[in-house]
Structure 1
């Protein structure tokens, strides 16, 4: 996970490092961690080490496993930061299309959060099931 998004998530939802250390983690996995606020934070494992470059097949496997975990846990809303894309990651349009394709016929609302300076804005899937 890139350090910026990790720090932001840790600050808001608590540090999950200890819980993650207890898990068997493989590239392509999605690890759900419950925090103190009764929220589930999904950690998508797209690379072995933070400085590695992720592969598309691993990103696709992680998003697929996110869908399976959300269905298993009966989660109907998922928030995703656009900050998951970056200079060493995939571009946001690729990630957005992958998410759209994976969740296309599933009854789960996807909220996309954009970090703009100090505010986080969101756009949701509209009536035509397109992500913005």
Structure 2
């Protein structure tokens, strides 16, 4: 099966994130890259948005998720973001990069990159 990719690169989000008390008092900038596997052929032939992954809706959903609560670790937030995308959008696989610029003074940015697949239901 052919797999195409819909991607969003460098989505800027403000989040309450971090383990230190001072980090819980302010919003910090995060940057997200998302790649979602899909088949774009139905949308390409029909030009119907409902037949593809709507990157505006995906971006909005990620913003809502990030702003819904404080997260101590970017690892936790990345897992929650990937799980949300797999559950709510028609994609079998998500690759997500989450960066926290300025977290380490000597580095431009730090972050995590994860790749998650939808778990198919198994019959017991």
TM-score higher than 0.5:
no
Larger Rg: 2
- Normalising by structure 1, report the TM-score: 0.29
Of Structure 1 and Structure 2, which has the larger fraction of its residues in strand?
Answer: 2
- Normalising by structure 2, report the TM-score: 0.30
